[in-house]
Amino acid sequence: MMGRVPTPLQIGPYKLQECLGAGGMGVVYRALPRDSKVAVALKRFHPTVIGDGEARARILREARLAARLDHPAIARVYDCFEAAGSAWIVMEFAPGETLAKVLRQGALPWPTALELGLQITAGVVAAHTAGIVHCDLKTENVIVTPRGEAKILDFGIARLRGETVVPGGGRHAGTPKAMSPEQILGGAIGPASDVFALGVLFYEVLTGVAPFAGGTTEQVLSRVCTWCPPPIPAHAAAVPGVLVELVEWMMEKDPAQRPESAQVALQVLECAAQNHRVPGLPGDFPPGLLAPGRSATGACCRELRGRVEESDSTGPSTGSTAASTTGSTTGSTTGSTTGSTTGSSTGSTTEESP
């Protein structure tokens, strides 16, 4: 698949140059517009997707939502059209590799992870400010350019805040390893869902391990809702305490227990960056920035796996089923956390993973 282009090579005003990769929804090509020398990424959707009315609406939705966003960390969407029996979306071409592919070499040094985290979180803040929730943030949906710039891709299941249906996605819209508990359980989805996914992404970047991936889809979904992954220092002891604290705060099971917005997470990252040359030094945090009971350098409340966390004044909640989303976690399983990805490539494309 990689490098091959379909016949005809000309699609509308675009000449296909190279296949960048494929995912569950379609194939992405690098293309050159007829009247320009600036390459774009052209996404062609699979015929089975085009034949579904809801999926077709989802395609148009992706273009409509993403075209509203203008931020350096978000790959722009320029246009959409139908040709050669398929639907196509014209996107910014972002040369580089997916973050998932980069992580195949192992975890990133924490200063590098912090810099990418700042960019990605700033992009999410911009989307939330525009009223858009991504709903599928993951390492496969972030391109890292040769200049070290992050580009968030694929608003294929992004949704406006307040809407109750994710077109084409059903109850489990999203990628299991990066979904929030409320996505899995069919609850209200909002910016807090992206905050959870950002926490999962940062955990993976800092440790090289996806916290919930491995096993069957149902096992992954159950882990997301009920299981506490090993503390970050178990994989990467040099990561500053403030980043450990932030990531585990973002991965709270109960949306109300997470940072109240991606903007708050961004503030914490910015504070950490002020002192990034001194490992473990959290910097001066604005009063009230961290959640009650959390300190910038203190050990996270989930330091011990399997310990049930009290998330509010009503006391701890228990149970090992996916129905628990109040912030409690249980963890009697070891779980495979290696994750899996397929078909990474350069350019604006996505990879499918459990």
DSSP β-ladder status, 40-45 and 86-92:
antiparallel
CATH class name, domain 97-273: mainly alpha
331 HSE (CA, 13 A, CB side): 21
User: Which residues 6+ apart lie within 8 Å of 277 measured at CB?
Assistant: none
Q: Is pLDDT of 46 > 90?
A: no
154-180 pLDDT, tens digit each: 765 565 554 433 334 444 457 888 899
Does 97-273 match 10-92 at the fold level? no
What is the per-residue pLDDT across 267-300, written as a single tens digit (0 to 9) for each?
999 888 886 543 443 444 455 555 554 544 333 3
User: Of 201, 72, 77, nearest to 147 (Cα)?
Assistant: 72
Q: Which pLDDT score is estimated for 189? A: 86
Selection from 267, 262, 228, 266 nearest residue 248 by Cα: 228
- Count CA within 13 A, CB hemisphere, residue 199: 33
Domain ranges of the chain: 10-92, 97-273
Q: What percent of the chain has pLDDT over 90?
A: 42
136 counts as catalytic: yes
Give the 3-state secondary structure of residue 174.
coil
Query: For residue 170, how many other CB atoms are within 10 A of its CB?
Result: 10
pLDDT score at 346: 39
For 10-92, CATH number? 3.30.200.20
Per-residue pLDDT band for 26 (boundaries 50, 70, 90) equals confident
What is the average per-residue pLDDT within 262-269? 93
- Average pLDDT score over the chain: 75
Which DSSP string corresponds to 137-173? Answer: --GGGEEE-TTS-EEE---TT-EETT----TTTGGG-
Q: Which of 52, 136, 284, 312 is catalytic?
A: 136
Peptide bond into 8 cis (omega under 30): yes
Residue range 313-342: mean pLDDT, rounded: 35
Model pLDDT for residues 69-117, shown as the tens digit of each residue: 899 999 988 888 878 878 888 999 999 999 999 999 999 999 999 999 9
